[in-house]
Amino acid sequence: MRLPFVAGNWKMNTTVSEAEQLVVEMIERLDRTEGVEKVLCPPFVSLVPISMMLQGSSIKLGAQNMYFEAAGAYTGEISPLMLRELCEFVILGHSERRAYFNETDEMVNKKVRAALKNELKPILCIGERLAENESGKTEEVVSRQLRKALEGIETGALNIAKKLVIAYEPVWAIGTGKAASGKQAAATIHFVRDVLAQIWNDGIAQDLRVLYGGSVTSANIAEFVSYPEIDGALVGGASLKADEFVSIARQTAEIKGKKSS
Ligand code: PGA
């Protein structure tokens, strides 16, 4: 049984006071929503105040990125040691990091390893670009990104299925209002589990949560989470609206709850 999962990636939006306000608007309703793991990923500067606001709630905190070194002369970077006092999760390999900040598969691999070593749970993002999708290269890209990001990661000692979450986010669907169809997303996520089974084994592939991301809203979440392959969503734009994100979490819990009962 995989616990459904929804995460809100606020990206470079909200000042500290705006972030606090957004949490105020959603905390009670989100906290009461059971049967789904709920994670908020605000900008770094809001992690401290929001971690305090979330104390005693069922809502968890995640960062949007981190560097792989523990400490040192890396001006402007944030390390796993800094994050692990504040959050449980960290988004790694987001396509915006890959596209705008030149993050390579090798860097993503170093980050995933550093996160796991420091007891942070990575939300590893993978996904193909439009041209790759149109030329039939989706599986090739997704397979390469996964294999490289997960290279050298031992499974047994780390209990990897409990610590890693994968988000399949086709780049052409992110922030465009043009989501993939549930069917397309489910087919690729099925393939993601085939690759995970080859990297590790089928048990891990079945236990590990895989999300869809890309223009998810309260109006289309049901289409995605109705597929048994899709365990939830990584939500960008819609996670900046309290009503939207609460609705996405509730629908996920409700639909997945019905399927398992
Ligand atoms: P979006 O972003 O929901 O705004 O498309 C998703 C993401 O980047 O995780």
> How would you write the pLDDT of the chain (261 residues) with one tens digit per residue?
899 999 999 999 999 999 999 999 999 999 999 999 999 999 999 999 999 999 999 999 999 999 999 999 999 999 999 999 999 999 999 999 999 999 999 999 999 999 999 999 999 999 999 999 999 999 999 999 999 999 999 776 568 989 999 999 999 999 999 999 999 999 999 999 999 999 999 999 999 999 999 999 999 999 999 999 999 999 999 999 999 999 999 999 999 998 766
Token pair for residue 147? 């294999």
Ligand 1 center–CA 261 separation, angstroms: 30
Q: Residue 38's pLDDT is what?
A: 98
Protein residue closest via CA to atom 6 of ligand 1: 236
Q: How far apart are CA 106 and CA 258, in angstroms?
A: 40
Ligand 1 center–CA 195 separation, angstroms: 24
Q: Residue 261's pLDDT is what?
A: 62
Q: Residue 156's pLDDT is what?
A: 66
Q: Residue 105's pLDDT is what?
A: 98
Q: Which atom of ligand 1 is nearest to the CA of 239?
A: 3
pTM recorded for the entire structure:
0.97
Residues with CB under 6 A from ligand 1: 9, 169, 174-175, 213-216, 234-238
Q: Residue 250's pLDDT is what?
A: 98
Ligand 1 center–CA 92 separation, angstroms: 14
Contact 86, 40 (CB under 8 A): no
- Among 174, 178, 217, 245, name the best residue to mutate to test ligand 1's pocket (greatest count of ligand atoms within 8 A of Cβ): 174
- Backbone phi, psi, residue 50, to 5°: -70, -35
Ligand 1 center–CA 215 separation, angstroms: 6
Q: Residue 79's pLDDT is what?
A: 98
Q: How far apart are CA 6 and CA 134, in angstroms?
A: 28
Q: Which atom of ligand 1 is nearest to the CA of 95?
A: 8
Residues with catalytic roles: 94, 169
Q: How far apart are CA 89 and CA 39, in angstroms?
A: 8
How crowded is residue 147: how many other Cβ atoms within 10 Å of its Cβ? 15
Q: How far apart are CA 30 and CA 128, in angstroms?
A: 31
Q: How far apart are CA 154 and CA 117, in angstroms?
A: 11
- Backbone phi, psi, residue 186, to 5°: -65, -40
- In sequence order, the 6+-apart residues with CB closer than 8 A to the CB of 241 are none
Q: Residue 155's pLDDT is what?
A: 74
